[in-house]
């Protein structure tokens, strides 16, 4: 939101705060509508006078989606359908949809790109593929301009609420607790710093695109073992042990994406290395602990 406000945009946020905190918006010049994305009446009211929608609401955990596939579907698929219908009715100028570049692909051989056939192995990945399909359908049936952005694994400050390895590793390292890796540590991910992600989202808002799918990725492949050891280095906890546990169902083994189409269509290029971005992220967690 700071990025949008810095652009001079007027911002209205719809959030039920089931995961995030309203306190994160207290100092921002943002109109807040506290509601669930599945509440059609609330969504319709929130869209009054809105030109562009950035749809980030999601049940975002792969592991949790395996345990609660129906809730995952209800939020990610039905919620997206409710929003798309309201956007079409309100004649918004564009919707930018947050998809995923890893879970949606399953165990396809990386690097993947926009021509790779999606083959999700988790309910979360399947729900995002459904969301992309509905976006495409509303572009075709209702003339609603949509851009689906397949995010890499996003990390950065103000992420204590996030489920995932980065938050878990930093939190445990700062407490002096063993880091837990599910599997043998060789699984890989494509990590993207949040500021780079925001630049990509803004580029998608500005680009004259009507119905596109684009990967927002660093193009780099990092193993979970490498990530854990980088966190221990940056938190000055090199002797903290790493514990390996059974691999969790639904999680892919290797994933990273080619960034060329994002560069071509959006002029997108990440500016943060993993080390630089992780340093800023660790500093935020340290400041939050010490504050």
Tokens matching residue 187: 């699984």
- The residues spanned by each domain of the chain are 2-290
Helix (H) or strand (E) holding 125: helix 123-142
Structural Rg of the chain based on CA atoms: 19
Of 3.20.20.70, 3.40.50.2020, 3.30.1330.200, 3.40.50.720, which CATH number belongs to 2-290?
A: 3.40.50.720
| pLDDT value of residue 291 | 59
Query: Is 182 one of the catalytic residues?
Result: no
Fill in the DSSP letter of residue 112: B
The reported pLDDT for the residue numbered 1 is 65
Per-residue confidence (pLDDT) for residue 24, from 0 to 100: 81
pLDDT of residue 216: 98
CA-nearest of 205, 199, 196 to 53 is 205
pLDDT tens digits, one per residue of 55-78? 999 998 999 999 999 999 999 999
3-state secondary structure of 257: strand
Taking the chain, what is the end-to-end CA distance rounded to the nearest angstrom?
Answer: 23
Selected catalytic residue, list 124, 134, 155, 193: 124
Closest residue by Cα to residue 248 from 155, 179, 181, 188: 181
pTM score over 0.85 = yes
* Nearest-10 Cα torsion for 160, 161, 164, 167: 10
Please give the pLDDT value at position 26: 80
pLDDT tens by residue, 257-271? 999 999 999 999 999
Cβ–Cβ under 8 Å, residues 261 and 115: no
Per residue in 81-103, is it b (16+ CB within 10 Å) or e — as a string?
A: bbbbbbbbebebebbbbbbbbbb
β-sheet bridge partners, residue 95? 53, 146
User: DSSP code of 74?
Assistant: I
| 10-residue stretch averages of pLDDT, the chain, 291 residues long | 83 91 84 96 97 95 95 98 98 98 95 97 98 98 98 95 93 97 97 97 97 97 98 96 96 95 97 98 92 59
Q: At what angle do helices 224-234 and 274-290 cross, to 10 degrees?
A: 50
Q: How many CA atoms lie within 13 A of 214 on its CB side?
A: 29
Which segments within the chain are labelled E, that is strand?
11-15, 30-34, 52-55, 94-100, 146-151, 153-155, 179-182, 188-189, 191-193, 211-216, 222-223, 242-245
The pLDDT value recorded for residue 20 is 81
3-state DSSP assignment of residue 200: helix
């Amino acid at each position: 939101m700071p990025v949008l406000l810095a652009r001079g945009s007027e911002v209205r946020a719809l959030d039920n705060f089931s995961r995030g905190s309203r306190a994160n918006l207290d100092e921002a010049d943002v109109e807040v509508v506290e509601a669930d994305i599945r509440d059609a009446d609330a969504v319709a009211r929130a869209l009054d006078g809105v030109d562009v929608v950035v749809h980030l609401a999601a049940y975002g955990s792969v592991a949790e989606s395996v345990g609660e596939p129906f809730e995952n579907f209800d939020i990610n698929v039905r919620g997206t359908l409710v929003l798309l219908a309201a956007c079409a009715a309100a004649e918004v100028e564009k919707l930018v949809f947050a998809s995923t570049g890893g879970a949606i692909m399953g165990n396809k051989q990386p690097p993947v790109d926009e021509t790779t056939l999606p083959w999700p192995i988790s309910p979360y990945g399947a729900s995002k593929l459904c969301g992309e399909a509905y976006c495409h359908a509303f572009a075709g049936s209702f003339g609603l301009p949509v851009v689906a952005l397949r995010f890499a694994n996003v990390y950065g400050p103000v992420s204590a609420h996030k489920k995932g390895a980065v938050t878990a590793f930093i939190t445990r390292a700062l407490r002096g607790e063993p880091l837990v890796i599910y599997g043998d540590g060789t699984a890989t991910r494509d990590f993207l710093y949040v500021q780079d992600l925001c630049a990509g989202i803004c580029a998608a808002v500005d680009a004259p695109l009507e119905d596109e799918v684009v990967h927002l990725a660093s193009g780099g492949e990092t193993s979970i073992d490498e990530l854990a050891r980088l966190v221990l280095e940056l938190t000055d906890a090199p002797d903290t042990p790493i514990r390996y546990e059974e691999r969790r169902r639904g999680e892919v083994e290797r994933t990273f994406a080619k960034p060329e189409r994002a560069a071509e269509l959006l002029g997108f290029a990440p500016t943060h290395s993993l080390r630089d971005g992780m340093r800023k992220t660790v500093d935020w967690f340290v400041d939050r602990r010490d504050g």
